Amino acid sequence: MFDSSRYTIEAMRDPVWVEYERTFSDQISLIVRALCVANAIAAILNHLSANVLFTYLNTVLALLFLLVYRSRNRISTLQVVLLIVGTGYLLAITSLLTSGLVGSAGMVLAVVQVVAIVFLKLKPAILIGGVGVILFVGIGWFISRGIIPVDPQVFERVFAFPQWIVQTFVLATVGIVAISLVSQMRSRLLETIQKHREQAAALENFAYRDQLTGLPNRYRFREEVSRSMDDSGVSSGVLLLVDIRHFRVVNALYGTEIADQQLQNVATMLTGLNSKVGTVARVGDAEFAVWLPNASKEWIEHDYRQYRAESRRSLDERTPGPQIDLYKGLAQYPRDGTRFDECTQAAAIALQHAINRDERKLVWFEPGMKDASKRDQQIEQKVTEAFANNEFLLVYQPKVNLSSSRIVGLEALSRWNSSSVGPVNP
């Protein structure tokens, strides 16, 4: 297949045309192989008929097309088409001057014009076709005037000059019709290619992009971060998960328009924070993820402190509704995990730790957080069972007057002594 990256400047500026050439590169390769075989067969037949001129000519052309086929990844489509057209003109003119067979020469001319029409843009194709017509009209005029001497037997086979003109213009008319038909076919094909490209881009955008913020979604984030972790040039990194505090309350009280504006502004802020080459994505309803390859804990804390004051002021100025607060959980690669899922789990545990304790600072994952999260989950699951099993106990705490040391009242407290996780603190 011919290399689609080496085209003329005009083609490189038109991605749809490049796609068209790439689509038909296999057909061009097939034509080159066919011409190589056809010239080899013609050389053998001319050798058997003792036609020395065409034996050498067809042999050279067969070797030339073989070389072109072997070098197909280093030759552009335009160069190959011009080579095919040029060799076609050479064969047609040589055949005309040596045998006087105008019909066979015209057939060769028609074939190379069709190749030019199909595989080149409209202006170059018309130019090549016009050159072919001018060549044959000029040769006919030179032969009729005796300027180009030919063998008398050959001259007897050549039509009279008026007939030559008529045949040439008939051939030109056929070429114009062919150009029109092929141009219409190609225009529709290019339109189809463009529509397919737009549809593919739209589907990719829908499948891998968040429609509100324009950020990658969780699927694209997983792909890009996993690819980055597999890169030998990435030896460390930080995975940051961010959740907007009380976002559902804001959505309920102020409406989706204000909530959407908050999401968009947080996305802008995080994109600005990600000054290193990395990825920012929206991975949940009010949750964002940031991947910072080759970043360290020290760099994050230093850069975050510098960036936070400016971004905080800008965020509050741009965002309507209540002030935005963020929970932030972070994990270090490869300390907290060598794979995407491991790092994401560690950052999610740190984020949940920040949410449970209402901490709005940077919360880094620590191994003990996992055990604490498991215990919190167990406690949450056991609460319902505890009510059914009467595991909640009522205890009384006296209220004492310090001046008189007398009990002046009692405070009733509920305590939970779980049968599976033990005493649970209030």
Helices (H), 319-366: 340-356
Among the residue ranges 70-84, 296-310, 345-359, the one predicted with the least confidence is 296-310
Do residues 379 and 418 lie in contact, with contact meaning Cβ atoms separated by under 8 Å? yes
Domain map (residue ranges) of the chain? 9-204, 218-365, 367-426
pLDDT, one tens digit per residue, over 156-169 is 555 555 665 666 66
User: Would you state the structure tokens that stand for residue 129, as one six-digit string?
Assistant: 């076709």
| Local structure of 172: helix, strand or coil | helix
Q: What H or E segment, with its residue span, contains residue 26?
A: helix 25-48
Cα–Cα separations (whole angstroms), residue 188 to 16, 112, 181, 184, 194 = 12, 23, 11, 6, 10
β 406-418/392-401 pair status: antiparallel
Distance CA 220, CA 225 (A): 8
User: Would you state the structure tokens that stand for residue 29, as one six-digit string?
Assistant: 């390769």
User: How many helices (H) and strands (E) in the chain?
Assistant: 15, 8
By CB atoms closer than 10 A (0-12, 13-18, 19+), residue 391 is middle
Q: What H or E segment, with its residue span, contains residue 395?
A: strand 392-401
| Local structure of 197: helix, strand or coil | helix
Note the CATH architecture for domain 218-365: 2-Layer Sandwich (3.30)
Distance CA 265, CA 263 (A): 6
DSSP classification of residue 212: T
Q: What is the mean pLDDT of residues 68-77?
A: 77
pLDDT, one tens digit per residue, over 18-54 is 666 666 677 778 878 888 888 888 888 888 888 888 8
Among the residue ranges 143-157, 192-206, 335-349, the one predicted with the least confidence is 143-157
Distance CA 34, CA 397 (A): 101
Residues in the chain: 426
Among the residue ranges 98-102, 159-163, 299-303, 412-416, the one predicted with the least confidence is 159-163
pLDDT, one tens digit per residue, over 177-232 is 666 666 666 667 767 777 777 787 777 777 788 888 888 888 888 988 888 888 87
Give phi and psi for 158, each to the nearest 5.
-85, 135
